[in-house]
Amino acid sequence: QEYTYDAWGNLIEKRSGFSKLHTFTYDCENRLVRAEMMVNSQVHSVGTYRYDSLGRRVGKTSEIEGQTEHKHFLWQGLRMLREQTPWQSSLYIYEPGSYAPLARVDQNEGEAEQRLYYFHTDQIGTPLEMTDVDGQIVWQATYKAWGEVETLAVNEVEQNLRFQGQYFDDETGLHYNTFRYYDPEVGRFITQDPIGLVGGNNLYQYTENPMRWVDPWGLSELLGLVTEAHGLLDPTAQKFRTTALGVSEDRKMFIASSEKKVPKIQREWAEAKGISVVNGQGHAEETIIKAGKGATSIDASRGVCLHCEQLMKEHGVKTDTHTTGKKSRKRLGGTTCNGV
């Protein structure tokens, strides 16, 4: 395979062998607006995409071998709530505070009858099966390591959800991942991380381990979200407060502050993104751990103090935030993060 990128790091051509060529076109905000696949020099499929002011995809038109389909998408924060075609609508229901799907309700245009389907997912929330109300399997798939469907054993009902936050586009083979598009064939995004090096040194990386981690927004590591949340505070508050975000094994996310309560502007931000708010007294990292939410990774807006570092190690929590190696000045002569 051969890949070609533009000056902004966006994939503009993907050539597979001598017969297949994908071309991609972007807008001024590096969002994919058109994709075309040529097979043996003939147009096989075309997709065009539309977004709202928040960067969420609200519509797409796909044409595959002469068959055209229009879809519209409605959102609840950063979770896709409903998709609509001229003949059907599908409503999605998710696990609380998560992007793992629980159920889907379909309804044909002009009909009162609704059809209910249930998702059966793996350990990271990827759909393995979908069943109807009678328990009959209507969709079933197995995956390769990086999320590409390996076998589609049952396909009686169209089902396009993949890794958490991802939607499969048949016209390209890509997965729409909220703020970027993901190529499951190679396990990387087709554009650079919009938060830059804050998300890590590899600007196209999905996650380090797709068996344990997911990236529902295409924004990579927690540090990027911490930067976004902390940046909502006024400059003075940013200097004296700490913001921390944590994520659990089942991909639930939490936000905490060094204040007793997470500020309103951050609470509203978190609610829109499906992130749970955790309040408490102490360091932000400490608050998340002591809340007993099962956080496995925590990052913060400033260096992690020695006490919090020790507490995180005791609870098996990892961090990509730099550690200061120093005790907190506020805790000198007082209690540690362990309450000792």
pLDDT digits (tens, 9 = 90+) for 228-243: 899 899 989 998 999 9
Region of poorest pLDDT, from 86-90, 220-224, 318-322: 220-224
Spatial distance between the Cα atoms of 219 and 206, rounded to a whole number of angstroms: 9
Closest CA to 229 of 239, 242, 214: 242
Spatial distance between the Cα atoms of 271 and 29, rounded to a whole number of angstroms: 25
Return all residues near 247 (Cβ < 8 A) that are at least 6 apart. Answer: 222, 253, 254, 295, 296, 297, 298
CB 47 within 8 A of CB 34: yes
- pTM of the predicted structure, to 2 decimals: 0.68
Half-sphere exposure of 310 (CA within 13 A, CB side): 11
Grade residue 176 by pLDDT with cuts at 50, 70 and 90: very high
Question: Which stretches of 251-301 are assigned E, i.e. beta strand?
Answer: 253-257, 276-277, 295-300
* Tens-digit pLDDT profile for residues 44-63: 999 999 999 888 999 999 99
Q: Over the chain, what is the mean pLDDT?
A: 89
* Tens-digit pLDDT profile for residues 17-44: 999 999 999 999 999 999 999 999 999 9
Spatial distance between the Cα atoms of 291 and 311, rounded to a whole number of angstroms: 13
* Tens-digit pLDDT profile for residues 188-206: 999 998 766 655 678 898 8
Spatial distance between the Cα atoms of 224 and 200, rounded to a whole number of angstroms: 9
Is pLDDT of 311 > 90? yes
